[in-house]
């Protein structure tokens, strides 16, 4: 006969596990719920999220548009987000003493600008948590789960929620783990002339790699490229880019709103109208003069010469560089502000109405341990709150 030590054990004291625990603790204070966290403190990522300010969700007028920010897991999250989405998350935190503000870009932060308020709201719900408690193994018995800690302690529970953000130890329970690779990163390049332009930001570019494209602002850094367009590409291409060891030719269209032919016509008109102006110092297409000079010289133009002396063939080359500059990508850099893992528990093996395993009844998953990840902007934490909430409803039933 197994000695059940807790009704519910939650492995992982991150956003998903702690939110599930908070919802359960408030709804059923009599239930024996225990969170096991391997670190010395819970909610470590929440603390540093959003640069310590915690971008805890994103404004949403339509769930189907909202899920387009999830390269993996968007379709599965449609139903769950209708049940507990950004509006419900906002209401929950505001009811727990954390008023939120929406920024112009749609990101929601605590009005106090500190993640500590989010952490305190969760901790104040009376969660029972054991820290420095790493789970090393989990196995099923008739009526529940045994949980073994790295220090040798053994516990047992009726229902188990795994919210570890990584989750390797659940393999023994029959689940498939989609290989984990990083998502949300910036790129390195070996093109030194290009990185000499560090600091330049170009709004609304289109970047592409084989089979992938993304749009938004691009920032030239000392080591390569960053900015929203690059982060989108890294997120949507997390798997294919990893397979190619982050080495590929990235195409940058600096003016995607215009065709190459339209750009050529603009250059040609400028040549006729301003023949005495110097090529290297006059950009007729609105790009910064340093970037323009690189594109022009790469096209074979002599920057010291006058526009009137520039052959049509060279103008065509410049138009091609503006529409399709090729940057050799030689690796990746972590994105300082936010990084997430692509990969985790295969989504088909989980029932998204309940967050219960389709393989092991009584076993539930929430948060980044699942093969779900999103772009920056509060979407990753929203997935943790949403799946944590749904799991809590099942744990309570």
Binding residues for ligand FAD, per CB under 6 A? 11-17, 36-39, 44-46, 48-50, 54-55, 134-135, 163-166, 169, 337-340, 367-368, 378-381, 384
Residue 34: CB minimum distance to ligand FAD, A: 11
Question: What would the two tokens of residue 175 be?
Answer: 């689940």
Burial of 57 (0-12, 13-18, 19+ CB in 10 A): buried
- On whether the CB atoms of residues 19 and 88 are closer than 8 A, the answer is no
Residue 182: CB minimum distance to ligand FAD, A: 11
Question: What would the two tokens of residue 182 be?
Answer: 């990083």
Residue 137: CB minimum distance to ligand FAD, A: 9
| C-alpha torsion 267→270→276→279, nearest 10 | -30
Residue 226: CB minimum distance to ligand FAD, A: 15
Residue 93: CB minimum distance to ligand FAD, A: 13
Rounded CA gap, 123 and 117, in Å? 10
Instruction: Choose between 162 and 296: whose C-beta lies nearer to ligand FAD.
Output: 162
Burial of 126 (0-12, 13-18, 19+ CB in 10 A): exposed
Instruction: Choose between 12 and 71: whose C-beta lies nearer to ligand FAD.
Output: 12
Instruction: Choose between 293 and 335: whose C-beta lies nearer to ligand FAD.
Output: 335
Instruction: Choose between 19 and 264: whose C-beta lies nearer to ligand FAD.
Output: 19
Instruction: Choose between 55 and 253: whose C-beta lies nearer to ligand FAD.
Output: 55
377 closest CA partner among 346, 327, 337 = 337
Instruction: Choose between 168 and 196: whose C-beta lies nearer to ligand FAD.
Output: 168
The residue with its CB nearest to ligand FAD is 14
78 closest CA partner among 347, 267, 277 = 347
| C-alpha torsion 25→142→152→130, nearest 10 | 0
Residue 196: CB minimum distance to ligand FAD, A: 29
């Amino acid at each position: 006969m197994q000695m059940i030590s807790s009704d519910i054990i939650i492995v992982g004291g991150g956003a998903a596990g702690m939110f599930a625990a908070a919802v359960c603790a408030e709804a059923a204070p009599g239930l024996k719920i225990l969170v096991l966290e391997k670190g010395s403190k819970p909610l470590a990522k929440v603390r540093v999220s959003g640069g310590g300010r915690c971008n805890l969700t994103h404004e949403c007028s339509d769930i189907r548009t909202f899920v387009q920010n999830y390269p993996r897991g968007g379709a599965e999250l449609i139903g769950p987000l209708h049940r507990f989405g950004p509006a419900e998350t906002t209401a929950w935190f505001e009811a727990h003493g954390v008023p939120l503000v929406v920024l112009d870009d749609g990101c929601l932060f605590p009005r106090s600008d500190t993640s500590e308020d989010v952490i305190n709201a969760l901790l104040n719900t009376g969660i029972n948590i054991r820290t420095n408690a790493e789970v090393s193994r989990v196995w099923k018995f008739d009526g529940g789960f045994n949980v073994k800690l790295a220090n040798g302690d053994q516990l047992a529970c009726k229902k188990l929620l795994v919210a570890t953000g990584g989750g390797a130890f659940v393999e023994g329970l029959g689940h498939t783990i989609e290989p984990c690779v990083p998502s949300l990163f910036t790129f390195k390049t070996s093109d030194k002339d290009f990185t000499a332009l560090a600091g330049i930001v170009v709004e609304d570019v289109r970047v592409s790699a084989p089979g992938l494209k993304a749009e938004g602002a691009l920032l030239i850094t000392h080591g390569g490229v960053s900015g929203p367009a690059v982060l989108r590409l890294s997120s949507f291409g997390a798997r294919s880019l990893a397979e190619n060891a982050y080495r590929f030719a990235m195409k940058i269209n600096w003016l995607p709103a215009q065709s190459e032919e339209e750009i050529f016509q603009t250059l040609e008109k400028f040549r006729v109208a301003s023949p005495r102006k110097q090529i290297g110092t006059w950009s007729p297409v609105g790009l910064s003069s340093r970037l323009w000079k690189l594109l022009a010289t790469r096209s074979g133009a002599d920057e010291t010469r006058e526009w009137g002396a520039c052959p049509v063939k060279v103008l065509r080359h410049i138009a091609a560089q503006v529409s399709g500059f090729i940057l050799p990508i030689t690796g990746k850099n972590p994105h300082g502000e936010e990084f997430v893992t692509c990969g985790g528990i295969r989504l088909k093996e989980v029932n998204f109405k309940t967050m219960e395993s389709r393989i092991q009844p009584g076993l539930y998953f929430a948060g980044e341990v699942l093969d779900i990840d999103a772009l920056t902007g509060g979407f990753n934490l929203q997935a943790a709150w949403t799946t944590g909430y749904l799991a809590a409803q099942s744990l309570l039933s």
